[in-house]
Structure 1
Amino acid sequence: MKDCLMFPFQNKTVIVNAAALRSSGAISIYRQFIYHLSKNTNRNRYYIFIDSSVEQPVIDGVIFVHDDNHSWRHRIAWEHGGLKRWLKQRNIIPDVIVSLQNTGSVIECQQVVYYHQPLPFYPRKWNLLKAKERMMWLYKHIYPFFVSSTLNDKTDVVVQIPFIKRGFCKKYKFAEDRVHVLFPDVEKIETDKIIAANLSADCLHFIYPATPFPYKEHKTLVEAVRILRQSNPSVFAKIRIHFTIPIGGYPLLEQLIVEYGVSEQFVFDGVMSHENLLSFYKASRGLLFPSTIETLGLPLLEAAAFGLPIMASDLDYAHEVLNGYEGVMFAKAENHEKWADLITRIYEEAPAFEPLTPKESSWGKFFELINK
């Protein structure tokens, strides 16, 4: 780790653990935190432990300490004594420990933990012996021990939606008044400035932006299209479902598509930049989102910003995230017939809806927890 200097002024000394955040939604949390920290330092001294590759803007009173060791062993050792030793060696007495990565620290002081790992709260079972499921098994069965071991009676926990709060309080037997639901910032999308992707006009295009994990339930859409092949050939011939997975990125899914004879209906576009994804939303007839495990499900909000029809899993996270949006239809991931019916409905009705307006930022409340 790179050493640091001391600041001559501060109200509080705040330690921020964020070294595990490097990609996907986790890095979005970090970026939002940094953006709002620049306006909410309150003359505190901040030490932020972060991967050296992540952005580190200049902010008065803030110093970044590089931690590029991402092994589980290092992280467990760090949170269970390593950080305490690091501080003691430098005569630093923390007032607040902030974690943006689910787990706190064994240091006895005020803590604010941003929790965003939903796997322990879903009933789905995982097989430790299957390579593709091993990490999910660890997050469901082992990870909670490390979360609970770093909670204390001075800890406040921040989550994004009520479902995660209910799961956290039940799993960890944690007081409800110390778990705070703070919706993350969602970018206001100026849809009139987005140029639609150049997709074939004679087809009906849907998009599903998701990583190739089993719980994303891509298979639901393959099964639904297989049903349409038999029940509604005219719809079947027109639809194209775009996956943000490269060819070869999900062999079992590709094998199933070939086996069912529906290869023409699925397009593997690969990982997209955010700009390209927005262009696809604008050119698409709707968003398909059968995922059965989510913390938030950002594509739901992005598609709603375009007023698109959305077909989502009939689960609490989707209901809570899209509360107030009229353009969403729900179906259980295992109900393939209903997914086929909803796709047909969108094909026949071509509905459009009033875009969903982003909520006001709640990060001010996060910093209130630090400064209380």
Structure 2
Amino acid sequence: MFDTVGISYIEFPDAKRSWLRRMHHEFWRFNALSRQLEPEVWLSLHDISPRVTVRRQVVYCHNPSPFYRPRLREALWEPKFFLFTLFYRYLYRINIHANDLVVVQQDWIREAFKRMYGVRHVVVAHPVAGQVPKQGEEVSFERPEVFLYPALPRVFKNFEVLCEAAEILYRRKGPAFEVHLTLSGSESRYAAYLKRRFADLPVVRFIGLQTKEQMQQQYKEASMIVFPSRLETWGLPISEAKGLGKPLLVADLPYAHETVGAYDRVSFFDPVAADQLADLMEAHLRGTLHHRPHEQPSIAQPFAANWDELLRLVVGEPGSSVSCQL
């Protein structure tokens, strides 16, 4: 249990036992609670816009799945995710216009909310980076060099384009490199497909889920971080790699440009073009890959660059001190 001065906690341990219980809390129980507490601001931190009686209501939406269009094979690999995208698409819509403000992490998601739900009051709030672990001394690479992709095996993570690029590059360069994937092959139907399809490729290593300490070592040993994901609200490994000064190969998508921000050790590739990715990886091995400096994209207002700016927008009155229910 947390113990923070000025903060009171009310727990609902049964709320996540099922979606029916979750909906009951969001649309019935919280309304009674709002009348009891009479807060001035109600900030929901997990996507759903509850039915509450309050002066100012705000929701933080961090799940991008409603805006993803799964390919047929992805629906077969992970049918629950396919159904989840449809479910969340309508879940977001429920009571969304009751909010005075919707908070998202990136500009492309703001535009998606405006387009799909007709929401107008949307603020972009970039995650505030914490301390990046010290990297220590650089690892000396004699070969093979390591391309690391740290991600869970979800269909939109697009592992297959990196594996296909590795297949192409192996035919050209042989065992001059390794690709490390943080999955074992037993996690899902999609993971099993990847293991079955690429396990015989000598340069692809399925290293499984890593602890925090193991992940730090993986980052340290990697010569380059590859991030081909087709869907993200942010993409934390990009920020982690950037904080460590690692070179990056990143999918050429709006989320990635916003997450990379100002950085001079990044190259972008078409997330469905394995040959293009293989060319960039080969140029890195040869020492001929020249990154172009990347600038931070301009973010329209309202935009919160830190926690203080975000809380002022949530409250709605600069400098005000109000009671807030999260």
Common fold: TM-score over 0.5: yes
Q: Does the 8 A contact of 1:97 with 1:104 survive in 2?
A: no
The answer to whether the 8 A contact 1:127-1:133 is kept is: no
Which whole-Å CA distance do the structure 1 matches of 2:294 and 2:270 have between them?
A: 24
* 1:163/1:316 contact within 8 Å kept: yes
Residue 127 of structure 2 is matched in structure 1 by: 184
Instruction: Give 2:276's match in structure 1, choosing from 312, 315, 338.
Output: 338
- Counterpart of 1:364 in structure 2 is 308
* 8 Å Cα contact 1:97/1:105 also seen in 2: no
CA shift at 1:283, angstroms?
1.7
CA drift of 1:128 comes to 9.9
Q: Indicate how the Cα distance of structure 1 residues 126 and 173 shifts in structure 2: closer, same or farther if over 3 A, else same.
A: farther
Secondary structure, in 3 states, of the residue corresponding to 1:142?
A: helix
C-alpha change, 1:112 and 1:64, in structure 2 (3 Å) is: same
Contact 2:143 2:177 in 1 (8 A): no
The answer for the alignment partner of 1:299 in structure 2 is 237
After superposition, give the CA deviation of every residue in 1:221-270 in whole Å (9 maximum; x if it has no partner).
1111221233x1x3x31111111113533211111013xx41x2122222
User: Residue 267 of structure 1 corresponds to which residue in structure 2?
Assistant: 205
* 1:254-309: CA deviation from partner (whole Å, max 9, x where unpaired): 11013xx41x2122222222333232222211011111011100111111122222
What CA distance in whole angstroms lies between the structure 2 residues aligned with 1:113 and 1:308? 34
**1:257 is matched with which residue?**
198
Q: Find the aligned partners of 1:218 and 1:154 in 2 and give their Cα distance.
A: 37
Does 2:13 match 1:75?
Answer: no
1:207 aligns with 148
| CA distance in 2 between partners of 1:342 and 1:274 (Å) | 29
Q: In 1, Cα distance between the equivalents of 2:3 and 2:289?
A: 44
Count of residue pairs brought into register by the alignment: 303
Shift of 1:126: 5.8
Name the counterpart of 2:67.
121
Contact 2:157-2:230 at 8 Å conserved across structures: yes
Give how far 1:135 is off.
2.5
Higher relative contact order (Cα pairs below 8 Å, separated by 6+ residues): 2
CA RMSD of aligned residues (A): 2.8
Q: Equivalent residue for 1:50? A: none
Change (3 A) 1:92 1:64: closer
2:320 maps to: none
User: In structure 1, what is the Cα distance between the partners aligned to 2:68 and 2:194?
Assistant: 23
1:209 partner amino acid: P
Q: Is 1:173 aligned to residue 130 of structure 2?
A: no
Change (3 A) 1:87 1:207: same
The whole-number CA distance in structure 1 between the counterparts of 2:288 and 2:79 is 38
- Counterpart selection for 1:93 from 26, 38, 41: 38
Separation in 2 of the partners of 1:67 and 1:121? 30
User: Cα offset for 1:153?
Assistant: 4.6
- 1:243 matched to 2:243? The reply is no
Distance 1:132 1:122, change over 3 A: closer
Moved more, 314-323 or 141-150: 141-150
Task: Pick closer, same or farther for the CA change 1:154–1:86 going to 2, 3 Å.
Answer: closer
SS in 2 for 1:368: helix
User: Which of 228, 241, 253 matches 1:315?
Assistant: 253
CA distance in 1, matches of 2:144, 2:159: 20
Tell me if the contact between 2:26 and 2:49 (Cα under 8 Å) persists in the aligned partners.
yes
Question: 8 Å contact 1:126–1:136 — kept in the other structure?
Answer: no
Distance 1:103 1:289 in 2: 29
Give 1:213 shift: 1.0
1:299 & 1:265 partners in 2: Cα distance? Answer: 22
- What code does the residue aligned with 1:113 have? V
CA contact 2:250–2:256 (8 Å) conserved in 1: yes
Specify the code of the residue in structure 2 equivalent to 1:277. M
What's the offset of the Cα at 1:152?
A: 3.1
Q: In structure 1, what residue type is equivalent to 2:166?
A: V
Secondary structure at the aligned position of 1:112 is classed as strand
